[in-house]
Amino acid sequence: MPPATPFFKIKYNKKGMIPSGISEDIYVQFTPNDEYKYFYDSIRIHCEGDKILIPIHAFPVINTKKDSLLPKEIDMGRSLKVGSAYQKHVNIESNCPVNFEFEIKEVKGHPDIRVAPMSGDIVGNSNTEITFSYNPTTFTTAEAEFEVRTSEFDFNPQIVRIVGSA
């Protein structure tokens, strides 16, 4: 049975009865209206005395051209002066007109490394700037890890590692 909503359509070449271990390809076409929202439907397959429901989901994402919002590692530099302040600015780019929320949590902290802002909005169709600060207080290598979460549906938290040496 095809999806019930007009946003999803399926195409397939019916082979007839399909025995165990054999598959049939089903192609799903998604055609949204002008709304940016979560869409859901399902394909129903009738078997001998049973029904199988295959869920179909479609939803807006922050940036369709990037696999991750922020780099996995940010190097603040080597041989930096103790007592100085260093910053790196990283933009989260959005190519969707929907606003999303974000939150950054400290996983492995270091007193010399800070991130700002720790939460806020990723404004639709624009850039949101995140600032990583390193203020070395000793002649050591500093390392910190932060977890980035967004309100994007089905988003997997991302870990960002920040390293700096004085």
Residue 38 lies in a domain: yes
Whole-angstrom CA distances from 37 to 53, 89, 149 are 22, 30, 19
Q: Domain residues for 153?
A: 73-165
State yes or no: pLDDT of 79 exceeds 80.
Answer: no
State yes or no: pLDDT of 117 exceeds 80.
Answer: yes
In a shared domain, residues 135 and 78: yes
In a shared domain, residues 87 and 49: no
Q: What is the pLDDT of residue 96?
A: 86
Q: What is the pLDDT of residue 152?
A: 85
Q: How many domains does the chain have?
A: 2
In a shared domain, residues 39 and 91: no
**pTM of model > 0.85:** no
Residue 120 lies in a domain: yes
Number of Cβ within 10 Å of residue 81's Cβ equals: 10
Q: Which amino acid is at 33?
A: N
In a shared domain, residues 34 and 100: no
Residue 19 lies in a domain: yes
Q: What is the pLDDT of residue 136?
A: 92
Residue 1 lies in a domain: no
State yes or no: pLDDT of 137 exceeds 80.
Answer: yes
Q: Is the dihedral of CA 71, 92, 89, 102 positive or negative?
A: negative
Sheet holding 127-134, edge to edge: 86-93, 127-134, 113-116
Q: What is the pLDDT of residue 103?
A: 95
Residue 68 lies in a domain: no
In a shared domain, residues 95 and 50: no
Q: What is the pLDDT of residue 2?
A: 85
- Of all residues in the chain, the percent with pLDDT exceeding 70 is 100
Residue 160 lies in a domain: yes
